[in-house]
Amino acid sequence: MPVEKILAKINIQPNLIDLQSNSKEKVRSALEALAGVTLLTKRKDSLYALIGYYIMEVKTLEQIEFFFNATRSAYSPDLAYHMLKDLTHFKEASTRRIFMNAFLNYLSGIQISNSRFSIESFIQLIELSKWGEKQKQKFLDELNSNIML
């Protein structure tokens, strides 16, 4: 049986319960599992669970980084949009160069055109960000060279 069919039948309920845990490792594991299901099966319920968790629980730059590292395998433009929207409010995001470079590479690798958000909405978020001009330009240049081709 193909992996996609197996994953399509997986009950995500235990992962949803683990998202409510006080254990950081249980939360990370649940996020990783939901991200895998989202990527391989394109199941909307797992994507909505990730977005819902993000909106309800992620508030700080550290939490965004944790969420990103746990869910990057989903390659979801919808998740990327929500994270970018919040990242643009943190001027100090530019001090986390390794994370921001990883996030920029992530943006370059996702298919924004398959999203409910347009490329223009990503660009607008960057242009209105609290980041310095150098950081904004770096993100805009990368988007222009990789996504808009």
Mean pLDDT of 128-149: 81
Between these two residues, 145 and 123, which has the higher pLDDT value? 123
Global pTM value: 0.86
19-55 burial code (b ≥16 CB/10 A, e <16) = beeeeeeebbbbbbbbbbbbbbbebeebbebbbebbe
Q: How far apart are CA 24 and CA 34, in angstroms?
A: 15
Q: Is the pLDDT reported for residue 126 higher than 60?
A: yes
| Domain segments of the chain as ranges | 1-60, 75-149
Per residue in 65-103, pLDDT (tens digit) is 999 999 999 988 899 999 999 999 998 988 898 999 999
Three-class SS state of 68 = helix
